[in-house]
Each structure stands twice: as C-alpha cells, then as structure tokens.
C-alpha cells in the first residue's frame, strides 16, 4: 500500500503491535471456549477475567462491573434499552442531546416508536450542554439521562460529572458514551459517578468488534442478546477471546502513555488549528479549549461539500473525514454541526482531522501543507464551474 498519512483516528485506529501480539496466541494455540471446563477452556476463561480486571482498572471500575460485547454501538443500545426496562416502574421519559452518535440517537428513536418520550437537549455553539438545561428538562418520570463524554464530530468534552449529579437528583440513571474519550482523556467512573459507560476497542488501537459496557454494581440491566448466559447473563454468545485480550492490552498500553500522548497530540492539534485558521474563510468548530487532544475540526466558506475536501486530500495520500464515519459519504451536513447552529452551507463543508499516538511530526507537516492548497483549488473549481462568488 502507498504511504499514507492517516488522520481519521476518531473513525478507527490501526491495531497496536502490542495488542496484535497479545491476541495472536488466542487464534490457534489457546483457542478454548471460556465456558468449557477442560484445560483450554479454563485458560481462555482466566485470560478473559484478567482482561476484565485490566479494562475495569483503566476506568476506575471493579472487575464485576465490566461486561464485554461487540463495541460502542452494542454498549449504547444495551445501556439505553436496558436502563429503560430496569426503571420502567418510574416512567418512560429519557433525556439526551442533539449531538449524540447515531448509536444513541437511533436507539432513542426506536424507543420513541415504542411509546417512550425523549427530550433532546440543544447544544450551545460549541456543542456542549450544561447542568441548567438538563435540570429544566428533567421530569418526575425521567428514567435515564444519556449524554456523551466527548463528541466524535467536533471533539468537545462535556461536563459529565455535573450533568450526572443533576440526573441523580432527579432519580434517573446516567449513561455516558465514552467511546471517544477513553483513553484519550482521564475517565474515572467513580469520579464521574456515572451508572453506565460505553467503550469501544477499535478507537484506541485495539481490534474491531470488541467493546465493553460499565454497569455500576447494583444496577441490574436486562440483556439485549439471549442465549447461553455468558457475561453473567448480560450478553450471551461465546466470548470474542482474542478481541477481549487485544482490547485490554491496547487500553492498558494507551492508558499508561496517556499523559505523554495527550501533550504531544494537543500540541500537534493546536498547530493544525493555527495553520488552518490562516486559510481565509475557515472556522474552528467545537470548543476552543475543552476538546479532545487529537481532534481538530473546521468548516470552510466557498466549498461545496465535505466529500470534495476529503477526496482531494485522499488523492494526496491524506486520510481525514468530514465529521462522522457513519455519514462520511453523505451530502448532508453532520447533524452535530446543524444542532450547534452552524449555517447549512458551512456545515456541508466540514472537516475533521483526528490524530493518534501513531502519527508523526511529518504527518502534521503534510496536513498543514496540503490543506490550504486543497481548499484553494476547490474554491477555484467552484468559481469556474458554477461562477459562484466565494464568501
């Protein structure tokens, strides 16, 4: 494959060498089913439990509060659907935000079709919501508040501890989708006091198809998937042992290097922001300060649509995204930007650059060099093709 600069790490990350080498024995040598009682089964079982302890330790949870599954989407689904069933006696009202990932928004839509009432909080111009807005939306029948920790499109970090306090005062459970924040920024379930928290392995150099849901001890959720009763009945199906082992290895590795990585990434992010804002008609999206260390996001005047920026950068060997992997090829503006009040014409020309620990100084230079040229050339094309003025 040709040399590429990969800056779409909010969509997915390459597997780390450490995660890969931890996983390999579990494909052909140590392939037992963790439910089997023979030696190979016991071996797999004990590795799954070691991984469970490691994943719990990385977010301040106990071993009996971590349930493995297929990733962030499944975690979000189980947390939301399960919490509503668990608290059904209190009512059926859920509060969330307009900036959530599709895994949350579409689960809420499904519940709405089944009779639940959903209030989505409108974000401020940076993509955040505050405790006052949540307090005003709480009702006696609110059973669940689900608010993401860090936004996948603009990188804004939301005040989860404060929001969680408001939800608990109203007697509701609190779920946070921490798929983008673990382990880029410190996440401790005891400090945040959340009841449910979703994580996804492929966002931190672990394998795809593996994730975990933190369920605070004493919060009994019904399963989404029924069967042999694995994961203490929370998630039936033979465990993805290599995936679980790889996720734990990647998470432990990334958590250990969080301090140094986030410093380096934030410095690179800020350089990209500074350089990009020198392009005429560009603007930063998301919170200028409270944002993920590796994520820079922008909109550009005079560019018809994001996919053109992404394609032209891709032609130069640079992989970035318009905002969300799920809507990457769509001509629609990311719903997050619309919710933040970004003008439709601008929101359609958005860009997300997301870095990881595997990026280099040279990658950052390549992005900074290419971006102004790409934006200029797209504006020139647009003017020739459509005779439209920029601005």
Ligand X SMILES: Cc1ncc(COP(=O)(O)O)c(C=O)c1O
* Binding piece for ligand X, criterion CB under 6 A, among 70-78, 112-120, 234-242, 357-365: 70-78
- Min. distance of Cβ 148 from ligand X in angstroms? 6
The values of phi and psi at residue 53, to 5°, are -65, -40
Q: Of 84, 164, 319, 326, which one is the catalytic site residue?
A: 326
- Min. distance of Cβ 192 from ligand X in angstroms? 16
For 146, the 3-state DSSP assignment is strand
Closer Cβ to ligand X, 22 or 107, answer by number: 107
Closer Cβ to ligand X, 86 or 203, answer by number: 203
Q: In the window 172-191, what residues touch ligand X (CB under 6 A)?
A: 177, 179-180
- Min. distance of Cβ 205 from ligand X in angstroms? 13
- Min. distance of Cβ 361 from ligand X in angstroms? 26
Q: Pinpoint the alpha helices (H) of the chain.
A: 17-23, 25-28, 39-59, 72-86, 102-113, 131-137, 160-169, 189-192, 241-256, 258-277, 306-315, 335-339, 344-347, 361-386
CA angle, 351 then 179 then 205, to 5°: 85
Q: Which member of 32, 123, 211, 243 binds ligand X (CB under 6 A)?
A: 211
Q: What burial letters (b/e) apply to 163-177, b meaning 16+ CB within 10 Å?
A: bbbbbeebebbbbbb
Q: Does 148 bind ligand X (CB under 6 A)?
A: yes
Q: Does 103 bind ligand X (CB under 6 A)?
A: yes
- Four-residue CA torsion sign, 332, 337, 341, 347: negative
Euclidean distance between CA atoms 116 and 96, whole angstroms: 13
Is 84 in the active site? no
Site size for ligand X (CB under 6 A):
14
Euclidean distance between CA atoms 308 and 180, whole angstroms: 25
In this structure, the number of other CB atoms found within 10 A of the CB of residue 328 comes to 16
Euclidean distance between CA atoms 241 and 42, whole angstroms: 12
In this structure, the number of other CB atoms found within 10 A of the CB of residue 377 comes to 12
Closer Cβ to ligand X, 179 or 357, answer by number: 179
Closer Cβ to ligand X, 152 or 350, answer by number: 152
Closer Cβ to ligand X, 198 or 230, answer by number: 198
Site mask for ligand X (CB under 6 A), range 275-314, x = bound: ----------------------------------------
Q: Which member of 146, 200, 282, 285 binds ligand X (CB under 6 A)?
A: 200
Query: What are the residue numbers of the active site?
Result: 326
The footprint of ligand X (CB under 6 A) covers: 71-73, 76, 101, 103, 148, 152, 177, 179-180, 200, 211, 325
């Amino acid at each position: 494959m040709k040399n590429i600069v990969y800056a779409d790490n909010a969509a997915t990350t390459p597997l780390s060498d450490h995660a890969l080498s931890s996983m390999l024995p579990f494909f052909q040598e140590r392939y037992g089913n963790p439910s089997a009682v023979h030696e190979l089964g016991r071996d797999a079982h004990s590795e799954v439990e070691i991984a469970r302890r490691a994943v719990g330790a990385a977010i301040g949870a106990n071993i009996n509060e971590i349930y493995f599954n297929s990733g962030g989407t499944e975690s979000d689904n189980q947390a939301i659907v399960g919490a509503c069933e668990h608290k059904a006696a209190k009512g059926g009202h859920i509060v969330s935000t307009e900036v959530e990932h599709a895994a949350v928004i579409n689960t809420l839509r499904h519940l709405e079709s089944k009779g639940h009432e959903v209030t989505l909080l409108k974000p401020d111009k940076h993509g955040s919501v505050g405790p006052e807005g949540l307090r005003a939306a709480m009702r006696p029948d609110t059973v669940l508040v689900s608010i993401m920790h860090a936004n996948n499109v603009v990188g804004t970090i939301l005040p989860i501890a404060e929001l969680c306090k408001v939800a608990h005062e109203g007697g509701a459970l609190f779920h946070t989708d921490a798929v983008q924040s673990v382990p880029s920024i410190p996440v401790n379930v005891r400090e945040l006091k959340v009841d449910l928290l979703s994580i996804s392995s492929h966002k931190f150099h672990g394998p795809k198809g593996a994730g975990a849901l933190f369920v605070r001890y004493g919060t009994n959720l019904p399963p989404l998937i029924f069967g042999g009763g694995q994961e203490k009945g929370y998630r039936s199906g033979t465990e993805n042992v290599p995936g679980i082992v790889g996720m734990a290895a990647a998470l432990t590795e990334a958590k250990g290097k969080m301090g140094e990585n986030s410093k380096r990434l934030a410095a690179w992010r800020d350089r990209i922001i500074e350089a990009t804002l020198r392009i005429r008609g560009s603007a930063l999206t998301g919170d200028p300060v409270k944002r993920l260390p590796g994520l820079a996001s922008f909109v550009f005047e005079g560019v018809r649509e994001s996919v053109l920026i992404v394609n032209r950068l891709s032609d130069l060997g640079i992989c970035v995204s318009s905002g969300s992997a799920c809507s990457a090829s769509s001509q629609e503006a990311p719903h997050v930007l619309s919710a933040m009040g970004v003008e439709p014409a601008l929101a359609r020309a958005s860009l997300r650059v997301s870095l990881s620990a595997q990026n280099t100084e040279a990658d950052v230079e390549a992005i900074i060099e290419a971006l102004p040229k790409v934006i200029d050339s797209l504006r020139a094309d647009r003017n020739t093709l459509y005779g439209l003025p920029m601005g």
